[in-house]
Structure 1
């Protein structure tokens, strides 16, 4: 079994015994398994699978050292994230703002058996649109947070969140969200309302943190993986779905009804089919994962979920290029795009808002960077045919 497939299987069914598959790995296979799972943020789960199968003695020395380093890093990261989360919750609570901590917080501290198994790249906080900019400014005004240097500069009208904030004390990234998705999902307000209305309370370090309900979080995971990210958040999605269900808090009849109302039933079918292909046991019969059309889309999803961040970024670039210009990417499309730069991108390159006319001074640098990205994407094999298949899948997900 290729290490990539084993990563998908461990992610889809983390509680299974993978001793036979681990026995079959040679040194190169172990090295690929450990390095890829580290890059894909599932090394803690692979480490757990090795221990559960009693195969620690098979791990090559260099791989064992990497796993041990990751254990230490994840323990510190989990603790640091918890401190950063409770501090920001405390600051906002003093101003009567009580956000809902999205996805990873509930997963790590309620659904997963150990928070260290669920890496978190950042902390996402959902607030109402009316207080989002105020919440962002309150944090910046404390002096402990700053707008991250890598983020674009924009306002409420640009996307589903405000620019990334960096906690200068811990190095943790925070995102203040006022929506959940900015990609044309018409039924998004239904899920936003569910996240707010059905929020549950979790106590961490003596602080009360609001998190989504089991249903709201599960539906957000499904939408986030498909409509929002086209599976570029990697195999961790499969593990998230497994543990989100493991606690037995899902009423499948109700959840399927909610998915239909929110028009994410096809997204649910797609992630369920991909998970079932790799041994997931959580998928109920009420979710139909049959059909040749769905099978073809699962193949595309599997390719996408295994991409590294560089590849995912290049493929996403070509999809966005096609969607903006209404045609498949090619030289003509790229030329057309070169004359219509994003005001947000230009403004961010100059360190100013998108409305400032001086943003155009960044146009030559933007054009060079855009051309380099286009060429890099072409070298990766993002042909018109591959992009067409991905766009067909997105169209299928959005159509009913």
Structure 2
């Protein structure tokens, strides 16, 4: 049994949107204890769960229970993050309308789909970019349309707000080798909700990509990734399975299916944690939200078929098992049994063990004893 610290407990509770009454009480007790708040905020920034933490603190009327400078830091981070999200969603509407106009099939995925599916307010779920799936055959038309809307390939510099364009050519070879086009960027300027002197460069370089100037404006780069697959060599029929229309932000848009969002989020969380050291507790909250809000729409047979076909059963097993233990959602026991790695077979190359210690950056060595004879 691993005993979590109060800081880890708060981070795990505040990455989820739905908490039980018992978890609310636990959340409040931890907040009222002696916490290492700089550590909590540093981790929450990395996980991009600060707005959701602010949501729970406000919902439970606990803001007065924390140091005032911590409350101000959380407020400023959330305000800048949400200003960026508003601009991303404004651009999303323009992009979707443009794709419909040129009759390109598409669906939303990753953060932009999750924010509008499992969160009561999409601004609670920060996203680095807008992710849209398209058919490979439409890549050239989509690139031209994006250019017409003011997007370009290139690099945004958060130190001075400048954008350096770079030409990126699409070929059939590049579409086979990469699962997305090179990122496209458009920069917009809006009044900053936070004075420039209170915005650290670290925010603008990493989690809240932007540039704040002394004139009271903030330059926000809108990054768009047009995907042609979820990962190389995946069957497009599996990629597009179940994607359907939903009413989001006042208009009808096509979104990845809840089942697709679940297996993809869980597998991506696991792979990025172990292969790239990218710790996304935010996506653990996404998984919990899908299990909680979309439970009637989940196709477990489809998830098992995808897990077997693409060899991602271990990643789904560890993430879904811990989501069931630590969250509010429920996974059928039979599903976990079929996903569980078999000790009597050759080890799976994608089996790196439990994901939660990795997400928490916990150096754990389990204690063992030999069998008593």
* 1:219 aligns to 2:263 (yes or no): yes
- Per the TM alignment, residue 103 of structure 1 is displaced from its structure 2 partner at its CA by 1.9
Q: Does 2:239 match 1:239? A: no
1:11 aligns with 2:15: yes
Q: Whose helix proportion is higher, 1 or 2?
A: 1
Instruction: Please tell me whether the aligned partners of residues 242 and 280 of structure 1 are also in contact (alpha carbons under 8 angstroms).
Output: yes
1:165 is matched with which residue? 184
For residues 94 and 6 of structure 1, the distance between their equivalents in structure 2, rounded to whole angstroms, comes to 46
**Structure 1 residues 152 and 265: CA distance shift in structure 2, 3 A:** farther
Q: Determine if contact 2:107/2:254 at 8 Å carries over to the other structure.
A: yes
Normalising by structure 2, what TM-score?
Answer: 0.70
Q: 1:265 aligns with which of 306, 309, 313?
A: 313
Question: In 2 relative to 1, CA 212–7 (structure 1 residues): closer, same or farther, beyond 3 Å?
Answer: same
State the partner residue of 2:359: 305
Find the partner of 2:77 among 43, 48, 70: 70
Cα RMSD after superposing both structures:
3.1
Equivalents in 2 of 1:107, 1:144: separation in Å?
A: 26
1:290 deviates by: 7.0
Contact 1:195 1:213 in 2 (8 A): no
In 2, distance between residues paired with 1:280 and 1:44?
20
Whether the aligned pair in 2 keeps the contact of 1:259 and 1:268 (CA below 8 Å) is: yes
Q: 1:219 to 1:152 in 2, by over 3 A?
A: farther
**Residue pair 1:14, 1:49 contacting (<8 A) in 2 also:** no
Contact in 2 for aligned 1:102/1:126 (Cα 8 Å): yes
Shift of 1:52: 4.2
- Structure 1 residues 17-39: Cα deviation after superposition (integer angstroms, max 9, x where no partner): 1122222233xx12321232123
Normalising by structure 1, what TM-score?
Answer: 0.66
CA distance in 2, matches of 1:111, 1:12: 10
What's the CA shift for 1:216?
A: 1.2
**Whole-angstrom distance in 2 between the partners of 1:167 and 1:282:** 40
Structure 2: how far apart are the matches of 1:128 and 1:40?
Answer: 31
Q: Secondary structure at the match of 1:149?
A: strand
Contact kept in structure 1, 2:131 and 2:226, CA below 8 Å? yes
Residue pairs, 1:71-150, within 5 angstroms? 71-140=78-147, 142=148, 144-149=150-155
Q: Which residue of 1 aligns with 2:246?
A: 202
The question of whether the paired residues in 2 share the 8 Å contact of 1:245 and 1:282 is answered with: yes
Contact residue 272 and residue 279 of structure 2 kept, 8 A: no
In 2 relative to 1, CA 96–83 (structure 1 residues): closer, same or farther, beyond 3 Å? same
Report the 3-state secondary structure (helix = DSSP H, G, I; strand = E; otherwise coil) of the residue aligned with 2:278. Answer: coil
The answer for the alignment partner of 2:370 in structure 1 is none
- Shift of residue 147 of structure 1? 0.4
Secondary structure at 1:297 match in 2: coil
Query: 1:90, 1:207 within 8 Å by CA — same for their partners in 2?
Result: no
Q: For 2:257 and 2:8, locate their aligned partners in 1 and report how far apart those are by CA, in whole Å.
A: 32
Q: What is the deviation of 1:237?
A: 1.2
Q: 1:70 to 1:292 in 2, by over 3 A?
A: farther
Paired residues, number: 298
